Amino acid sequence: MDIEKFWGIIKTDFEYQSPVRTCLLAKNFPGWATFTYYLKLLQRIIIDSKAADIGEYDYKRWAIGSLDILKNIESSGGSFSISGLQGVSMHGGPFVYISNHMSMIDTFILPSITTAFTKATFVLKDELLRYPVFGKILKAINPISVTRTNPREDLKTVFNRGCDLIANGYSVIIFPQTTRSTIFDATSFNSLGVKLARRAMVPVVPVALKTDFQRNGRIVKDVGMVNPGKTLYFKFGDPIPIEEKPQVVHRKVVQFISNNLSEWGGKVVREPS
């Protein structure tokens, strides 16, 4: 399956479900599945980093690499349930996508989906741009980088860069949690994405995801064991008009994520009623 076929599926069916297959090797030998997953992932990152280094890395190439990682996860015993894209497809974008953040996989897989509709980029920590090899890829996709040490300056950066990019047809993906976690804590989920959407006058799209196929590592957070047999969930909500009150929009986003994670068996800390 190439990227054009994948885009065709999610634009017409509004979902993607991994084909049913039994990966006995991955299931019976999770250590081997973990090794092969990271080996293929490293190969993909090196290929894309070299392309970015010589100025040949664009959004289609980003999506192709993202889809390659999706197929890598499937061959390592994982399966995908991607759904809820009818509203995104009908509206066309650009949007501000607001998502919970569970693992490194989130940033690897979302580009293959979101770039089917518009160019897209992330709000991310500026330290990620300094990562060897991987940082070159991130720099090539026009990210909005924040320091997380000066909230006022970060807010200005997100507003100025975000509005600029959206005006040029980009969607912006933002993870309002303070850090990646398998637990969704609604009380620490800020409203920065809603504020950006209001400033740029575009709809908000809530995204609920559950990607604990790749666990966070004990020593290196980005490198943990994989869990063959896990389903990875990516569910998109209908675009929410920004004309609604910011508190209402934020509440709808939090409820969408909380309800879907609970349905998938995830852990949720809800806001006090």
CB 262 within 8 A of CB 255: no
Residue 125 parent element (H or E) = strand 119-125
Global pTM?
0.93
Q: Write down the pLDDT at residue 214.
A: 81
Q: Write down the pLDDT at residue 130.
A: 83
State phi, psi for 108 to the nearest 5 degrees: -80, -40
State phi, psi for 156 to the nearest 5 degrees: -60, -40
Q: Write down the pLDDT at residue 216.
A: 64
Q: Write down the pLDDT at residue 13.
A: 96
Q: Write down the pLDDT at residue 28.
A: 58
| Nearest by Cα to 204 from 220, 187, 192 | 192
Mode of pairing for the β-strands spanning 204-210 and 96-99 = parallel
Q: Write down the pLDDT at residue 148.
A: 75
- Distances in Å between the Cα of 133 and the Cα atoms of 139, 143, 145, 165 are 11, 16, 17, 25
Q: Output the 3-class SS for 97-111.
A: EEECCCCCHHHHHHH
Q: Which residues of the chain have pLDDT under 70?
A: 22-30, 216-222, 272-273
